[in-house]
């Protein structure tokens, strides 16, 4: 039987499907890839719906899209509590067990991460125009995301955080003190990120490097090494260095086109 492969998450879909059933990416639109190799993340069609476990996610709106999740009994999502837009009164919420509360607090991250369980509906959105990126994690995958960029993740994804190593990286890296880390074990899962502006992705080969504005970094495979490097930019008599995030492959790197630092960060 003929199947349609999603060019974003590579899942197989039945013919005549307009949006991928696993990530919501439109299946009837060509990939947009720049000459330099950046691929634009698929703009999810308004009201597109996709499935994870026995639950569904519907993406609503286009300027500041909302991820509305209809949780089945036994399913759940984890999220930072301030991204909740609305919920059914009956949906239970609880604290996601997580170590390192003091470190997180010092790093300006939420003290705890929250989880909600089915059955019922809960919806999430962020504080600036942008787009939702659905990252499907196959079993045994690791993904790092910019702190506060994560909108929600399915309950099968293990969430933790990694301290960014090196004083230079912390002081000049522009990505905060921590990275959110999402890991899958035996089950697949999804991570929903909100990127400000448009989101672009590039796959780096082993040893391949790219310099990224630190505020533009959104996510990366954990196999990608991120290091703050100083560029010597001379302006007349004064010399002042500027810092960029040097990404070294192998792996995917995702960036957002609107990268000023918002009040929420």
Partner 1 sequence: MTTTPAPGAAQATTYVCRYCRLPSDASGTSCPSCGAPVDVRAAVSDSGWVEQPAVRDMAKIQFGQSYCQVEGTLVPTADFGLAPGDGVIYSHHTLLWAGTGTHLEAWSQGSFFTRTYAGMPLVLMRASGPGHVALSEDRPGEVIVLPIPPGRGFLVREHAFLAASDGVDYTWQNAPVWLQTRSGDDTEYEYPIGPYIDLFVARSGRPGLLLLHSPGNLFVRDLTPGQAILVQPGAWVYADTSVSFGLHAEYPASGGFLWGSYEYRTVWLRLQGPGRVAVRSIFEKPERYSGLVASSGMTSHRW
Q: Which residues bind partner 1 (CB under 8 A)?
A: 46-49, 56, 58, 60-66, 68, 70, 81-82, 84-89, 92-95, 97, 101, 110-112, 114, 121, 123, 125-129, 263-264
The CB-of-208 to partner 1 minimum distance in angstroms stands at 35
The CB-of-207 to partner 1 minimum distance in angstroms stands at 39
The CB-of-191 to partner 1 minimum distance in angstroms stands at 20
Nearer to partner 1 (CB atom), residue 120 or residue 250: 120
Nearer to partner 1 (CB atom), residue 19 or residue 175: 19
DSSP the chain: ---EE-TTT--EE-TT-SB-TTT--BSSS---B-TTSPEEPPPPPTTEEEEETTEEEEEE-SSS-EEEEEEPBT-EEEE-GGGEEEE-TT--EEEEP-S-HHHHHHTTS-SSEEEEEBSEEEEE--SSSEEEEEEEEPTT-EEEEETT-EEEEETTEEEEEEEPPSHHHHHHSSS-SEEEEEEESSS-EEEEEEEES-EEEEEEPTT-EEEE-GGGEEEEETTSEEEEEEEEEEETTEEEEEEEEEEESSEEEEEES--SPPTT-
Nearer to partner 1 (CB atom), residue 24 or residue 189: 24
Nearer to partner 1 (CB atom), residue 18 or residue 29: 18
The CB-of-115 to partner 1 minimum distance in angstroms stands at 8
The CB-of-25 to partner 1 minimum distance in angstroms stands at 15
Nearer to partner 1 (CB atom), residue 82 or residue 138: 82
């Amino acid at each position: 039987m003929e199947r349609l492969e999603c060019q974003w998450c590579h899942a197989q879909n039945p013919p005549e499907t307009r949006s991928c059933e696993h990530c919501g990416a439109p299946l009837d639109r060509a990939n947009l890839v720049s000459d330099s190799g950046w691929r634009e993340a698929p703009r999810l069609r308004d009201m597109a719906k996709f499935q994870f476990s026995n639950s569904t996610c519907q993406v609503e709106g286009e300027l500041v899209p909302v991820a509305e999740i209809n949780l089945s009994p036994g399913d759940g999502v984890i999220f930072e509590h301030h991204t909740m837009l609305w919920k059914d009164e009956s949906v239970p919420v609880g604290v996601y067990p997580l170590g390192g509360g003091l470190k997180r607090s010092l790093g300006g991250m939420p003290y705890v991460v929250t989880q909600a369980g089915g059955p019922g509906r809960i919806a999430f959105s962020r504080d600036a125009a942008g787009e939702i990126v659905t990252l499907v994690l196959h079993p045994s995958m690791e993904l790092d995301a910019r702190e506060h960029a994560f909108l929600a993740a399915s309950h099968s994804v293990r969430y933790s955080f990694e301290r960014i190593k090196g004083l230079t990286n912390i002081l000049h890296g522009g990505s905060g003190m921590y990275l959110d880390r999402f890991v899958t074990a035996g089950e697949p899962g999804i991570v929903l990120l909100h990127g400000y502006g448009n989101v672009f992705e590039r796959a780096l080969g082993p040893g391949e490097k790219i310099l990224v504005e630190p505020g533009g970094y959104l996510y990366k495979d954990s196999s990608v090494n991120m290091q703050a490097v100083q560029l010597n930019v001379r302006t007349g008599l004064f010399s002042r260095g500027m810092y960029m995030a040097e990404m070294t492959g192998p792996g995917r790197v995702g960036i957002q086109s609107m990268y000023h630092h918002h009040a929420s960060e």
